[in-house]
Amino acid sequence: MNYSVPSYPVPSLPERLIDIDASTMPIFSKATDYPRGHLIARHSHNKGQLIYASSGVMVVTSDDGQWVVPPTRAIWMPTGFVHGIRCVGDLRMRSLYVRPEVAPQLPALPQAVGVSGLLRELILAAMTLSESYAADSRDGRLAALIIDELQALPVLPLHLPQPGDARLRRICERLQAQPDDDTTLQDWALRLSVDVKTLQRSFARETGMTFGQWRQQSRLMHGLELLAGGEKVINVALALGYASPSAFATMFKRQFGQTPSEFFQLA
């Protein structure tokens, strides 16, 4: 059977739409549900955003790369970063918006982060925050605890950087469209009429990875999306070009620290 892998990019519908909000609270929340396949156009916020889905899986993209985010993970999106979202399944998005001056030590770049059982419950509880609350109120203390938890978020290796070089983009687009492609970098150098060492240096400079590392990360990210969609490990392994399910599971655990089944379990 042929298991097609959906493409990642989110169309840039209205480009760089700035979301302006007037809340003066340290943290405020928003709950929105989206159907499978829904595209959230590229936009940015004037506050930091923790993007979390209590169910469903998101593919989040920015100019610097993309992330596949199941319900056990979240994306921290700092103020001003343009991003778009594609909903892999029916999505229950629960977002926290944080005023920049409240927690300036939070990451300055977009990051995939772990969501503990405590933080998950805090996010869900935050959906009832009032529009205006005092620091010494129940809502104020909830907001303060959330800020403390956000500052302890573990960063996870769920990022796939995107190169700016046109030659590298051609290679990367091919690998994302056909994740089981085993074309070597030497073969790509011949196709593109460029020295292989030039491609090696360009990959390292623009992505921080070797060609092999980038292809492996791309395959694993595709695998995450397929697994999140309900595919069996054996089918995912074959679709991505692995020799066996165990070979895929081994590589998955080496990269993410957990087996595929453990990765999708709620804490």
- Can you tell me the mean pLDDT for 18-22? 54
Task: Report the CATH number of the 163-263 domain.
Answer: 1.10.10.60
What token pair was written down for 61? Answer: 């993209």
Rounded CA separation 255/267 (Å): 19
Q: Does the pLDDT at position 172 exceed 90?
A: yes
Q: What is the reported pLDDT for 83? A: 94
Q: What is the reported pLDDT for 263? A: 77
Residue listed under structure tokens 């990875």 = 209
Per-residue burial over 130-145, b if 16 or more Cβ lie within 10 Å, else e, is eeebeeeeebbebbee
Q: Does the pLDDT at position 180 exceed 80?
A: yes
Q: What is the reported pLDDT for 9? A: 41
What are 133-165's pLDDT values in tens digits? 898 999 999 999 999 999 888 888 778 888 889
Q: What is the reported pLDDT for 157? A: 76
- Can you tell me the mean pLDDT for 238-264? 86
Instruction: Give the pLDDT band of residue 2 (cuts 50, 70, 90).
Output: very low
Q: Is the dihedral of CA 101, 102, 108, 112 positive or negative?
A: negative
Say if CB 110 and CB 78 are below 8 A apart: yes
Instruction: Give the pLDDT band of residue 55 (cuts 50, 70, 90).
Output: confident
Higher pLDDT, 2 or 198: 198
Higher pLDDT, 89 or 234: 234
Q: Which residue spans of the chain are classified as CATH 2.60.120.280?
A: 17-156
Residue 208 burial class via C-beta count within 10 angstroms: exposed 0-12, middle 13-18, buried 19 and up? exposed
Q: What is the reported pLDDT for 21? A: 59
Q: Which residue spans of the chain are classified as CATH 1.10.10.60?
A: 163-263
CA atoms within 13 A on the CB side of 9: 11
What token pair was written down for 185? Answer: 């970098």
Q: Please report the DSSP string for 5-43 in residue order.
A: ----PPP-SSTTEEE-----SSEEEEEEEE-TT-EEEEE
Q: What is the reported pLDDT for 10? A: 39
Q: What is the reported pLDDT for 260? A: 84
Q: Does the pLDDT at position 18 exceed 80?
A: no
Which region among 19-23, 64-68, 227-231, 233-237 has the lowest average model confidence (pLDDT)?
19-23
Q: Does the pLDDT at position 108 exceed 60?
A: yes
Rounded CA separation 87/76 (Å): 17
Q: Does the pLDDT at position 7 exceed 50?
A: no
Which region among 81-85, 128-132, 203-207 has the lowest average model confidence (pLDDT)?
128-132
- Domain 17-156: CATH superfamily is Regulatory protein AraC (2.60.120.280)
Q: Give alpha helix (H) positions in 74-207.
A: 117-126, 138-150, 166-177, 185-192, 196-207
Q: What is the reported pLDDT for 16? A: 45
Instruction: Give the pLDDT band of residue 22 (cuts 50, 70, 90).
Output: low
Q: What percent of the chain has pLDDT over 90?
A: 45
- What average pLDDT is seen over the chain? 85
CA distances from 56 to 51, 93, 94, 225, 256 (A): 12, 8, 11, 11, 20
